[in-house]
Amino acid sequence: MSDASQSTWRLWLKPSLIWLALLVLLGITVGSAYIPLGIFNGIINYSVAAAKAALVLIFFMHLDRSRALIRLTAAAGVFWVIFLFSLSFGDYLTRNWNGSATTLAPKQAQVGTREHGTYPQQRLPLVPRFGHRD
């Protein structure tokens, strides 16, 4: 049946090391969150998250010994997320440039209105007002 127990513990060795690394990273991210580091809190947290995800992807999900096709598929997922984020942020980051009209100013959001006088009254070009509706 199964081999003698020493071969199974050898099987555990590498994955357990990865697991320990993951727990250490968890400790770092939670611990550092309580230290006021300004912008670095975010940087550390997301870098640690990326590192943990990378460890899981590479070692538990076997990307280290996968064929190129699998790696390409994994990369495609990541790239598409980058496309989604970058072009969407292209909108949000440029909304206030050069006084261009914005839909949303933080802390000023009001349904359907904006500050009086800052945005031209816009009518949709063709609101029919012909005849009577029965």
Partner 1 sequence: MSDAALVYVRHQDKEQNYLQAGHTLGSWLTSTDHKRIGILYALAITFFFFIGGIAVGLVRIELMSPNGDFLTDDAYNRLFTLHGIVMVWFFLVPSIPATLGNFLLPMMIGAKDVAFPKINLLSWYIFIVGACFAVVSIVAGGVDTGWTFYTPFSTMFSNGDVIAAAAGVFIVGFSSIATGVNFITTVHMLRAPGMTWFRLPLFVWAIYATSVVMVLATPVLAMSLLLIIAERWLGMPIFNPANGGDPILFQHLFWFYSHPAVYIMVLPAMGVVSEIFACFARRRVFGYAMMVYAMMSIAVIGFFVWGHHMFVSGQSQYANFVFSFLSFIVAVPSAIKVFNWTATLFRGQITFEAPMLYALGFLGLFTIGGLTGLFLASVPIDVHVTDTYFVVAHFHYIMVGGSVSAFFAGLHFWWPKITGRLYSEAWARFAAIVMFLGFNTTFMPQFIMGYAGMPRRYHVYPPEFQIWHVMSSVGALVLFVAYTLPLIYLTWSLFYGKKAGDNPWAATGLEWQTASPPPKHNFAELPHVKAPPYRYHPDRQAPEAEDRKPETQQGAM
Partner 2 sequence: MSEVSPVVHEPWPSFERQKMAVSFGMWVFIASEVLFFSGLLLAYTIYRHLDAEAFKIASRETEVFYGGTNTAILLTSSLTMAMAVHASDHGFRRMTIRCLAATVAFGLAFLVMKGFEYHSDLDKGLWPGPGFPLHPATTQLFWAFYWIATGVHAVHLSVGIGIVSTIAVRLKRGTLLVKASTFEGAALYWHLVDTIWIILLPMIYLVGRA
| Binding interface with partner 1 (CB under 8 A) | 69, 76-77, 80, 83-84, 87-88, 90-92, 94-95, 97, 100-104, 106, 109-112, 124-126, 128, 130-134
Residue with the two structure tokens 């006088």: 117
Looking at this protein, which amino acid is placed at residue 80? W
- For residues 106 and 109, give the distance between their C-alpha atoms in angstroms, rounded to a whole number: 6
- For residues 90 and 104, give the distance between their C-alpha atoms in angstroms, rounded to a whole number: 15
Six token digits for residue 58: 């590479």
Helices (DSSP H) in 1-134: which residue ranges?
A: 5-33, 39-55, 68-92
- State the binding partner of 87 from partner 2, partner 1, none, CB within 5 to 8 A by kind: partner 1
- State the binding partner of 19 from partner 1, partner 2, none, CB within 5 to 8 A by kind: partner 2
Six token digits for residue 117: 């006088």
Binding site for partner 2 (CB under 8 A): 1-3, 8, 11-12, 15-16, 18-19, 22-23, 26, 29-30, 33-37, 41, 45-46, 48-49, 52-53, 56-57, 59-61, 66-67, 69-70, 73-74, 76-78, 80-81, 84-85, 88-89, 92-93, 104, 106-107
